[in-house]
Structure 1
């Protein structure tokens, strides 16, 4: 029976260890879940605005804290979906945000 020399064993062990550690999910190294959640919420806002027949500019004005890029992505996705499936939007029935004069 042939034995493995010590330097070869160390190399084999190091490669095996690296391959095992490479598959681990190390906490703190991935993206922040709050950021992903905010982006998903902004996409949902954009989709809802499109379904409510609101223009993208109105959507931006009504949701100033939402990321404009994510809102646009959601609006665009919903627009494509509605056109593809021939879905008619429903106008928003709720009143828009109160203006400065009404306060």
Structure 2
């Protein structure tokens, strides 16, 4: 569902990247993929479930990242740098292929 300042999401969702998405830590909504969660938050699955929760937060804190293999990108996400093993999201412009962040 699209959103902006004049078309807000319902109160249990957050407007992120002009889409109504599940906020970090929500107990109201289940996610099926990381695309269901706000930008920078990953869907975590437990015990083989087909649905999960948006509980892995990779957003920058005060413009910085704590992991030296990541850096804060223009979306304010701590993304893994080129060539790094992708244990979470890759930096904007990179994708995880064969276990590493690549252009």
Q: Same fold (TM over 0.5)?
A: no
Q: Tell me: higher relative CO, structure 1 or 2? Use CA pairs within 8 A at least 6 residues apart.
A: 1
Greater C-alpha Rg = 1
Question: Which bracket does the TM-score occupy, shorter chain normalised?
Answer: under 0.3
Greater share of residues in helix: 1
